[in-house]
Amino acid sequence: QSALTQPASVSGSPGQSITISCTGTNSDIGTYNLVSWYQQQPGKAPKLMIYEVTKRPSGVSNRFSGSKSGNTASLTISGVQAEDEADYYCCSYAGGSSPYVFGTGTKVTV
Amino acid sequence: EVQLVESGGGLIQPGGSVRLSCAASGFTVSSNYMSWVRQAPGKGLEWVSLIYSGGSTYYADSVKGRFTISRDNSKNTLYLQMNRLRAEDTAVYYCVGGYSYGYQHNYWGQGTLVTVSS
C-alpha cells in the first residue's frame, strides 16, 4: 500500500482560504468515504480534525472542512490563522490486510 | 478525559527486541480498536498495526512477521512486541485509539522514541 500523495507545502496569508489535496487510488479514497485529516503541531502528537470525509469532531473549528471527488480528498481551511501553522496528514481506510494508509504530509505556512 | 500513555522505548541494537506498552484511561482498549502509528525523525506518519475489539490483528507489510500487537484487557493496556529490529524502524511510536463504530484515529498518546543503532 503506497502512501497517499499530498503537496509538500501550502502557504497563505491570514484570512485567506487554503486547500490541501490528498490523492489516492481506487483501492482506498476512491472506494471508501473514510478519509480523515490530522493536524500535527511541532513536537506534538497528531490531532483529529476531520473524519468520514466531511465530519468535524466536537471542538474543532468550523473553519476546517473536508471534501472528496473521485480518488482525491481535500482539506480546506477558511480564514487561515497563524495558529493553523502545522503539518497536516490525510488518512484513508483501504480494507484488506493493511487497512490504513496515511498521506505524505503537507506543511502549512501562514 | 482519555489518556494514552506509551512506555518502553529506548536505544536498541539492530536485530534486538523491545516491547512497547500503552496504558489507557478513559477509553476501553478491549471495546474499541487500537493502532500503533510511527513517525521516523523528520518524516511523515506511517500506520504500523491494528487490533480490533474482536481480536483480529493487522500489520503493515514493512513489519509483518517481526512485530506483534496484543492487549491485556484486565490492565486496559496495549502492547507492541518488536523483534528483529532494523535501523529503519527508528521512529516515535504513537498509541492510537479509535471507536469501534468508526474508522478514524480519535485519540493519540504522546509517543515513545525507539532508536535502533549499534
Q: Closest Cα of chain B to A16: distance in Å? A: 26
Q: Is the pLDDT of residue B71 over 80?
A: yes
- pLDDT bin (cut points 50, 70, 90) of residue B101 is confident
3-class SS of residue A71 = coil
Closest CB from B45, B58, B106 relative to A89: B45
* DSSP per-residue letters across B61-106: TTTTTTEEEEEEGGGTEEEEEE-S--GGG-EEEEEEEE-TT--S--
CA angle, B67 then B56 then B25, to 5°: 80
Closest CB from B44, B106, B108 relative to A105: B44
CA angle, B74 then B79 then B80, to 5°: 165
Q: Does B23 touch chain A (CB under 8 A)?
A: no
d(CA A71, CA B35): 25
Cβ contact A45–B110 (<8 Å): yes
Cβ contact B44–A102 (<8 Å): yes
- Among B14, B22, B39, which residue's Cα sits nearest to residue A91? B39
3-class SS of residue A85 = coil
CA distances from A57 to A16, A45, A82, B10, B29 (A): 23, 17, 21, 34, 20
What 8-state DSSP symbol labels residue A28? T
Which residue(s) pair with B65 in the sheet? Answer: none
CB pairs under 8 A between A and B: 63
Residue B29's CB is within 10 A of a number of other CB atoms, namely: 22
Q: What is the mean pLDDT of residues A53-82?
A: 97
Q: What is the mean pLDDT of residues A17-36?
A: 96
pLDDT at A38: 98
Question: Cβ contacts of residue B60 below 8 Å, gap of 6+?
Answer: A1, A98, B46, B47, B48, B49
Q: Closest Cα of chain A to B80: distance in Å? A: 16
Quick: pLDDT tens for B4-47. Answer: 999 999 999 999 999 999 999 999 999 999 999 999 999 999 99
Cβ contact A99–B58 (<8 Å): yes
Contact B93, B22 (CB under 8 A): no
